[in-house]
A and B are shown apart, each in its own frame.
Chain A
Amino acid sequence: MKKRTWAIALSAIAFLTGCQNNSNTVWEDTKTMGRYLHRQGQLLWKKDVDSKMIESEEEFLGPQEEEFIPLKDEDLKTQFADHSIPQPKEVPGAIGSSIPGIEQFIKPSSHLADLFRNLYFNTDEHTLKDKEAYGNVAAIAEHMKKHENLYIFVAGHCDERASEAYNLALGTRRANTIRNLLVKRGVNPNRIYTISFGKEMPAELGHTAEIWAKNRRVEFKIFEKKGS
């Protein structure tokens, strides 16, 4: 009796799921056909539909196609524990780039100065120091989502205690932590660039715990892209 009940229940689920998939597929096909017919109609009236032939593999795969030979997935260990987001492919200031070099990015002033204020970290940590700082990141994300032409540099800095070379690498981790938080809150990753300065550029010179705390930071620079 029990077996029969289970068999009926499973069959019903399979049937209903199948219907669901089928109806979804039909709906997607209908939408695709509709878009196609709409575009053909526009072409008949010689309207520009902004379409063109894909000319390269890179265009087909999109901007995030790997420009390096990656490790195999099994060698990358548990990605879910440390979600990494590839850097924007467009290099600021490079020849042909629509984003200028950092010389045209500015330190936010007036009403934006408070929003893009420095964020601070604990010693040898890449997580933010307090809850307020996370709120600040959320506010930056909201602002960036409202201003789609805004591009930012996130510069990671360290205090003087670890070695110079190690700190250069550690600074990337801090900058990328902030970048990841912004992306998770819906900001386009191609608008956020990271820099690591390690301990090369302390905000304050000195050798006390207070000064170290002020130097373990990320700083922001912004650029408003015009005409896009």
Chain B
Amino acid sequence: MKRSLLFFLLFLSFLYGEEKEMIIPLSTKNFLSSVSLSPFTSSSFSNDYLEDLHHVLVFDINNNGSCYVEKKGAYDFKVDTDISGKDLSATISFRGKTTKTLGPYSLSGNLVADRRVIHAFADDLTQIMTGERGIASQKILYSIQFPRKTPEGYEYKSEIWEIDYDGENKRQVTHENSYCITPVYLPMSSSFTDSKFLYVNYIKGQPKIYLGSFEMEHGVPIISLRGNQLLPTVSKRGDMIAFISDASGRADLFVQPFSQSHRPLGKPIQAFSYPRSVQASPTFRPDGKKIAFVSDKNGTPQIFIIDTPSPGKDSKPHPFCITKKYRHNTCPSWSPDGTKLAYSAMIDGTRQIMVYDFLTKEEIQLTSGSSHKENPTWAPNSLHLVYNTVDLSSSELFIVNLKQKEVMQITTGPGKKHYPAWEPTRGPL
């Protein structure tokens, strides 16, 4: 009897324990819609200038994750542009039938300002063609580290920088003359004009979470908690911050309720702690009710999910591990639509970007190649990801989307660029 049961169990494990081969639905333009785009013509601007702006628009369409510009042959969408005076507008038709208009958008003749106008135009165009607004207007925060050789060894400084999604308009946003890392935007309602962000600053020694503003060179510490404060993340509504702290003597997960006026509400809540283990990299589900984070409580770092604690709510944390395929999984990032979790997994000795699909419960490998890839974060459209490589000689930022296999490098130049964070869409919180 026992032997029969054993055989039956072995048979079941054979049926269900077999590792499935994943098919990655990437690359090929079959998934994408083709767009015929007319050139820009106007007597108000030089041809070279118009060509520069046209290149920006072509780039935005080719990288919106849903379309590509078709120069010859059949197309799905036809975009006829018109610049009257300094106003850009367009007529969009779908396979020669439905027609919609877009614009006008005022151009100024200033390339930096007009690039923004074209990005906004591209995002609205994407909205018409795909039903979802594009991400060309969104920016990316990240850290750049500069090492300096001194007689005693190396001295390291790091500041927070911002860049357009296409790698243009790079600018330094903190001037702390310190070590600043892991920036993250605070979600904004459309009425907020003073954009803010969080970052970790080592200026006094222990790393503390600071509130930064694009109008100020220096931020202010915001969480009153002893010890190291690391790896902050913000809920989609901006009402909670999760972070890692060793206030209790261990690297624990904490949640701090937060007001929309950028002030902590009450005390931080210890959300998860486990003996002899390290917790890291929290990320909120968009509804704020769950948190994914890294813990090595079972040996190697894996990604777990727990319910978000709240003051007065009496619930025990029951961490649920979702990463089964690989052993060393870190840096989770929950997609804004809540259906996917991006993370970094060690595969054949190299850290690659993976996506866990909550609908199919599959783990899908998104990147390949020899560079280590870490710190993925989602764009607001839940389609694009930005991550950084960690190479022997440099660290750069790259963008990839779920529909196109090609990755796009958006940074170059000196310094180690890492910890990218994609700007969320402005809107009601």
* Chain B residues within an 8 Å CB radius of A89: 226
Known: A68-B269, A68-B270, A165-B330. A195 touches B278 (CB 8 A): no
Q: How far is the CB of B324 from chain A (nearest CB, A)?
A: 18
* Chain A residues within an 8 Å CB radius of B204: 91-94, 101-102
Of A70, A162, A165, A202, which one neighbours B248 at CB under 8 angstroms? A70
CA of A193 to CA of B375 in the docked complex: distance in angstroms? 28
> For the complex, is B247 an interface residue (Cβ under 8 Å from A)?
yes
* Chain B residues within an 8 Å CB radius of A102: 202, 204-206
Of B179, B228, B231, B270, which one neighbours A200 at CB under 8 angstroms? B179
* Chain A residues within an 8 Å CB radius of B311: 69
B247 lies within 8 A of A68 (CB): yes
- B335-371 residues with Cβ-Cβ distance < 8 A to A are 344, 351
> For the complex, is A85 an interface residue (Cβ under 8 Å from B)?
yes
B206 lies within 8 A of A200 (CB): no
Main secondary structure of the interface of A (DSSP, over half): loop
B231 lies within 8 A of A168 (CB): yes
B268 lies within 8 A of A200 (CB): no
* Chain A residues within an 8 Å CB radius of B208: 91
* Chain A residues within an 8 Å CB radius of B228: 172, 194-196
- A76-111 residues with Cβ-Cβ distance < 8 A to B are 76-79, 81-89, 91-94, 101-102, 105, 107
Of A66, A84, A196, A197, which one neighbours B249 at CB under 8 angstroms? A84
> For the complex, is A203 an interface residue (Cβ under 8 Å from B)?
yes
B interface size (C-beta, 8 A): 66
* Chain A residues within an 8 Å CB radius of B221: 94
B418 lies within 8 A of A78 (CB): no
Known: A202-B154, A207-B392. A67 touches B331 (CB 8 A): no
> What 16 additional pairs, Cβ within 8 angstroms, besides A194-B206, A196-B228, A200-B181?
A74-B316, A82-B250, A82-B275, A86-B248, A86-B249, A87-B226, A91-B226, A101-B203, A105-B205, A163-B351, A165-B330, A165-B374, A169-B230, A193-B205, A195-B228, A201-B156
Residues of A participating in the B interface, judged by any CB pair closer than 8 Å: 66-72, 74-79, 81-89, 91-94, 101-102, 105, 107, 153, 160, 162-166, 168-170, 172-173, 175-176, 179-180, 193-197, 200-203, 205, 207
| A-B pairs with lowest CB-CB distance, top 5 | A102-B205, A84-B249, A93-B204, A82-B275, A87-B227
Residues of B participating in the A interface, judged by any CB pair closer than 8 Å: 145, 147, 152-154, 156, 158, 179, 181-182, 202-208, 221, 224-228, 230-231, 244, 246-251, 254, 266-276, 278-281, 294, 296, 301, 311, 316-317, 328, 330-331, 344, 351, 372, 374-375, 390, 392, 418-419
Q: Would you give 6 A-B contacts (Cβ < 8 Å), ordered by A?
A: A67-B226, A77-B275, A87-B249, A165-B280, A195-B202, A205-B154
